[in-house]
Structure 1
Amino acid sequence: MVRTGFLANVPVLDVDPFSRESLADPYPLDARIREAGPIVWLDKYGVWATGRYDVVDRIFRDHETFESSAGTGLTNTKLQENWRKPSAILEADPPGHGRVRRGMMSALSPKVARGLRGEFMQRAHELVGEAAARGEVDAAKDLAEAFPLRVLPDALGLSTEGREHLLPYANLNFQAQGPRNELYEEALKQAGEAQKYVAWQMRREALDETKLAGTIFAAADNGEITHEEASMLVRTFLSAGLDTTILGIGLALKALAENPDAWAALRADPALARTVFEETLRCFAPSPIIGRTTTREVEIEGARLQPQQKVVMLLSAANHDPRRWTVPQRFDITRDTRGQLAFGTGIHGCVGQMMARVEAECLLTAVATRVSRLEIAGTPVPKLNNWLRGFDSIPMRITSA
């Protein structure tokens, strides 16, 4: 077929990154899209896509041309109603974005993170000790999921009531970023009362203000943000502060079990926990895709994008771009991972990345200290999510140190 108009001379792919088959084994399609061209048109969804590192980096840094306020999923929320109100940070653009981000950062400053580290480390050692005593665990559930659920809600100041709704809500949030397919419909059913729970938990009176929530609302009291924005920032924690960290920790544990040299290096020097997590993020980005929307006509490598068109950036594909990384498919903890795009970059770089790193470092440090041996003890089960990547189950045999 001869393509005319804005699709002239542009690679057009008839593929579905959101099919169950693609989600179960995503890396071949990542590579196909990346190598087809600097930017391609996905016919099934009517969106642009890129997996090239330089193009993704350019889009992240040009927030005036590629906006976030039209939604960061497949849906252009300025043209089509979304299932929830937009995020006060991720789905906002300047000038409002900067003001709200500064309010959020007061709750997530390096000083705050350092203050939480001691408690997180203690609880990580407790959890890993319990798991090591059992010998055989599901690392995805018993370690990667259990630890953030043990520490983050308490640190934020959530009520103990209703926490069973946290993961179903977060799952729905990420499934909804993709197409309205079967996975989205399943998540919608599983969420049940989760949306009502989140609306209830966002309220100031439902939170413990001696914790991080208090810092967020203090910013509202000081006039830095509005009280409605403070509540929306609590929702940001609820929807985005768990799943990506959980999956990232699980991917790190799996990678260590499958790479004995990396595991031996971490065992010899637990201070490498941060390095292990960074290479995990590069090699197996748990949040592998994000969207932007064009505000004007713009050219990318000969392709002419029209205003209000969606562009999806394949972060995992960019983190595997051989133009940027040497032997990118190899998990290598000696690699310089600076520039990896799992948390994004530019003004919309993930605001929760500091918290995710603290959680992962504490858990991986405890594993390196309290476990002498990690082995995969069964077939890991991939997590099928439109907008996330990782494993629902990782059977593992661990030996206490």
Structure 2
Amino acid sequence: MTAARTPSIDIDIYSDELTLRPYEAYRQIRDAGPAVYLAPHDTWVIARYENVREVLKDTDTFSSAAGVSLTAPVNEITKGTTLASDPPEHDTLRAIVASSLTPRALATRKPGIAQQAEQLVAGLVERGEFDAVTELAQVLPLSVVPDFVGLPQEGRDQLLDWASAVFNAIGPPNERSQRSLPALAELGEYAGRLANSGALAEGSLGAGVLAAAADGRIPATQCPALLLDYLGPALDTTISAVGSAIYLFARHPEQWDKVRQDPKLIPNAFNEVVRLETPIRGFCRQTTRPTVVGGVEIGAGERVLVLYASANRDERKWQDPEKFDVTRRAGDHVGFGYGVHGCAGQGLARIEAHAVLEALAKRVSAFEVLGTDRVLNNVIRAFSSIRVRVTTSNGV
């Protein structure tokens, strides 16, 4: 532990108020320094874009192997995942999980996902009013991801609750984190049953994990953790981003007009959504040795919270960062992480989100938000409901 913890700030960014409305607190942390001691949670926090990238790139100094949570028992539970490991172990594990996520492997799935998105959107638009979260953003990932992992039907109805519990648990040991622990245990038992039964579809990501154990590349005891590695992030991050996209386009109809007029903007528009409303607040690291971040000394063995969502609104990086602009060159956001821990599943997330936005752009000229509810989660920023009315391209 360091003798002097300066600069320091007394803000509980995990309070209900700041979980729902965090951006002014993030700005205060950025302005306080390149590395700031977050007193309520006994952790350093990195909130500026340049320093976030610096920390995420330096896996030798800022280790994930001790876990990425602020809660010690959760760090113990997540050992053996790609999220909570460092090279070279991380590279071995990632190669197994990511083998199904290469651009070539995903290309074969793209037409089917596009067709599913077309059918889903067509039905909702015909109705005129729908919930853009429960009836749109959740539906495609809940169809695509479990099939991709190779899950049986048993347990699929609990995946969203389990995924939410994972992200709540990764936060500090607050009430939300504590309430999530039983669901986290259920998810672990589920993954153990899957690994032991081998009941995963042939050719799936999950089957590839079991094959790696059979070939001796990983111990069989590591299979449950790797089966969970992709599941939660693949669901909640995509659902969050698609929901936020609908909300932002409703609030900024001129940006939706740009997308409709030039659908080639959709990939860039999706990057801008992820930048402005980053799905994952951030993850922790632990220092392996004394280090310096932007002139601030941090001792060995310190917890360091890396705030992706703050970095993506850093005035030092982005011009007019609070503005939603689908033409902004936003491809270097850190919404999917950065470096060796960059999200392995972001390719599939992009395919799903792009397919939904493309299908909407063909049919919808405007969105009207009728009501919203937000998720109160330690890590994920998302809506639980966005009730919308759409105007179709033919004016109906």
- Shorter-chain TM band: over 0.9
Does the aligned pair in 2 maintain the 1:165–1:197 contact within 8 Å? no
Alignment correspondent of 2:177 = 184
Question: 1:348–1:193: structure 2 CA closer, same or farther, 3 Å change rule?
Answer: closer
Report the 3-state secondary structure (helix = DSSP H, G, I; strand = E; otherwise coil) of the residue aligned with 2:366.
strand
Task: Give the residue type in structure 1 aligned to 2:386.
Answer: I
Does the aligned pair in 2 maintain the 1:168–1:194 contact within 8 Å? no
2:64 equivalent to 1:68: yes
Alignment correspondent of 1:149 = 142
Task: Give the residue type in structure 2 aligned to 1:312.
Answer: L
Deviates further, 52-61 or 298-307: 298-307
1:69 is displaced (CA, Å) by: 0.5
Report the 3-state secondary structure (helix = DSSP H, G, I; strand = E; otherwise coil) of the residue aligned with 1:242.
helix
Alignment correspondent of 1:394 = 386
1:188 is displaced (CA, Å) by: 3.9
Task: Give the residue type in structure 1 aligned to 2:131.
Answer: D
After the TM superposition, which residues 156-167 of structure 1 pair with which residues of structure 2 at under 5 Å, given as runs? 156-167=149-160
After the TM superposition, which residues 34-183 of structure 1 pair with which residues of structure 2 at under 5 Å, given as runs? 34-75=30-71, 77=72, 82=75, 84-183=77-176
Does the aligned pair in 2 maintain the 1:297–1:307 contact within 8 Å? yes
TM-score using structure 1 length: 0.92
Task: Give the residue type in structure 2 aligned to 1:207.
Answer: L
Matches of 2:388 and 2:57, distance apart in 1: 40
Matches of 1:103 and 1:189, distance apart in 2: 29
CA-to-aligned-CA distance 1:344-394 (integer Å, 9 cap, x gap): 11111111111111111111111112323211122x212111011121111
Question: 1:199–1:225: structure 2 CA closer, same or farther, 3 Å change rule?
Answer: closer
Matches of 1:87 and 1:249, distance apart in 2: 30
2:238 equivalent to 1:240: no
Task: Give the residue type in structure 1 aligned to 2:334.
Answer: L
1:337 is displaced (CA, Å) by: 1.0
Question: 1:231–1:186: structure 2 CA closer, same or farther, 3 Å change rule?
Answer: closer
Deviates further, 102-111 or 40-49: 102-111
2:334 equivalent to 1:322: no
266, 269, 273: which one aligns with 2:262: 269
Deviates further, 237-246 or 120-129: 237-246
Does the aligned pair in 1 maintain the 2:265–2:327 contact within 8 Å? no
Matches of 1:137 and 1:203, distance apart in 2: 40
Structure 2 spans left out of the alignment, 5+ residues: none
TM-score using structure 2 length: 0.93
1:64 is displaced (CA, Å) by: 0.2
Does the aligned pair in 2 maintain the 1:381–1:393 contact within 8 Å? yes
Q: Percent identity?
A: 37
1:195 is displaced (CA, Å) by: 3.9
Task: Give the residue type in structure 1 aligned to 2:264.
Answer: A
1:194 is displaced (CA, Å) by: 4.0
Alignment correspondent of 2:338 = 345
Question: 1:237–1:107: structure 2 CA closer, same or farther, 3 Å change rule?
Answer: same
Matches of 2:167 and 2:27, distance apart in 1: 23
Question: 1:191–1:6: structure 2 CA closer, same or farther, 3 Å change rule?
Answer: closer
Matches of 2:78 and 2:19, distance apart in 1: 27
Does the aligned pair in 2 maintain the 1:220–1:230 contact within 8 Å? yes
Question: 1:94–1:152: structure 2 CA closer, same or farther, 3 Å change rule?
Answer: same
Report the 3-state secondary structure (helix = DSSP H, G, I; strand = E; otherwise coil) of the residue aligned with 1:389.
coil
After the TM superposition, which residues 242-391 of structure 1 pair with which residues of structure 2 at under 5 Å, given as runs? 242-378=235-371, 380-391=372-383
Matches of 1:219 and 1:273, distance apart in 2: 37
Matches of 2:270 and 2:263, distance apart in 1: 12
Alignment correspondent of 1:11 = 7
Does the aligned pair in 2 maintain the 1:271–1:365 contact within 8 Å? no
Report the 3-state secondary structure (helix = DSSP H, G, I; strand = E; otherwise coil) of the residue aligned with 1:143.
helix
Structure 1 spans left out of the alignment, 5+ residues: none
Does the aligned pair in 2 maintain the 1:169–1:195 contact within 8 Å? no
1:262 is displaced (CA, Å) by: 1.5
What do you get for the CA RMSD once the two structures are aligned? Answer: 2.0
Task: Give the residue type in structure 1 aligned to 2:388.
Answer: M
Task: Give the residue type in structure 1 aligned to 2:3.
Answer: G
1:213 is displaced (CA, Å) by: 2.7
1:219 is displaced (CA, Å) by: 4.2
Question: 1:91–1:391: structure 2 CA closer, same or farther, 3 Å change rule?
Answer: same
Matches of 1:177 and 1:131, distance apart in 2: 35
CA-to-aligned-CA distance 1:234-288 (integer Å, 9 cap, x gap): 2112222111111011111111111112111221232322111110111110112
1:74 is displaced (CA, Å) by: 1.3
